[in-house]
Amino acid sequence: MGSPLGCGWESEGLLVQPLPTIDAHTHALNQGSPLIIIGGAEDKEREKSILKAFLAWAGGSEARLLLVPSASSMPEILAEVYRLLFVQLGAASVEVLNITNRYEAELDENVARLHNSTGLFMTGGDQVRLCKLVAGTALARAMQLASTAGRLVIAGTSAGASAMGECMIARGYSGEPPKRNIVELSEGLGLLKDVIVDQHFHNRNRLPRLMTAVASQPHCIGVGIDENTAVVLHGDGILEVLGEGTVTVVDGSELVYNTINDIQSYQPLSVGNFRIAVMAQGLRYNLRERQTL
């Protein structure tokens, strides 16, 4: 069986599958460009190591970057902050694509700007705002295709990180035990399949809400990223940890009890056992095999 992209078979003996078609596959199961998933509050003043890592993956001094600040309620200001940073770090070009309505996200000329880029960076803000404007549009489909085809390195920080998943934490609360009403899930941009991202993670007491999300979608693996910390997720499903904090993986594949459908939304859950891995910089985790490398 051939592939329209001229390649199409995995070499690792797990699942033999053709390469990118939007419907069946998303990033974590394909040989695409890395996704850079940032837990928010990345250093912009000192080493800037996470921003530098994204720039390097996107082509370094030859990188043509596109900033998408549409999650933010102050998109122009935030875009200018990142534009200056990436110019100073040596990108070949840095442009801003501030989508303000869904019509703009369907325009061929905006899709063409994406195709002319080597890296795309989504800022923080509100992931629901970003998805309201972009999810399901031609621009979102172009992001998926370009990423899985290995032509575009996509980064997102904070809301821009959360929005990457097919399943997304839209909103949540902290300071309470796991229960249904501390987390709202919705559909994200679809760059990541079977992975639920959370950010500002230990900083904002978000393990209870991520455990709740995984309890409701146990086929998904939860990835909680601390501030000034990032995941570099490679096309083969291997993630690497970069930065100051930790990445916490919440694996629900061995749950033996889970009351999420038996209780009222304000009642605490009983759910176990989660397998939880905490990883600092340098560690790698295989999302397919669900184990640290």
Q: Is position 264 an interface residue for a second copy (rule: CB under 8 A)?
A: no
Strand partners, 120: 66, 154
| Contact predicate 94/87, CB 8 Å | yes
Instruction: Output the six-digit token pair for 55.
Output: 């720039």
Min dist. Cβ of residue 110 to a second copy (A) = 38
Beta strand pairing call for 93-96 and 64-68:
parallel
Q: Mention every residue, 6+ apart, whose C-beta is less than 8 A from residue 215.
A: 178, 252, 255, 258, 260, 269, 271
Kindly calculate the radius of gyration of the chain based on its CA atoms and give it in whole angstroms.
18
Told to judge if 109 belongs to the known catalytic residues of this protein, a careful annotator would answer no
Q: Is position 37 an interface residue for a second copy (rule: CB under 8 A)?
A: no
Choice among 147, 158, 162, 216 that is catalytic: 158
Q: Give the contact letters, 67-106, x = binds to a second copy (CB under 8 A), - = no.
A: ----------------------------------------
Q: Is position 125 an interface residue for a second copy (rule: CB under 8 A)?
A: no
Choice among 70, 72, 162, 200 that is catalytic: 200
Q: Is position 60 an interface residue for a second copy (rule: CB under 8 A)?
A: no
From CA 230, how far away is CA 154, in angstroms rounded?
13
Using alpha carbons, select from 236, 228, 238 the residue that is nearest to residue 280.
Answer: 228
The interface with a second copy within residues 210-229 (CB under 8 A) comprises 211, 226
Q: Give the contact letters, 234-253, x = binds to a second copy (CB under 8 A), - = no.
A: ----------xxx-xx-x--
Q: Is position 186 an interface residue for a second copy (rule: CB under 8 A)?
A: no
Q: Which residues are catalytic?
A: 158, 176, 200
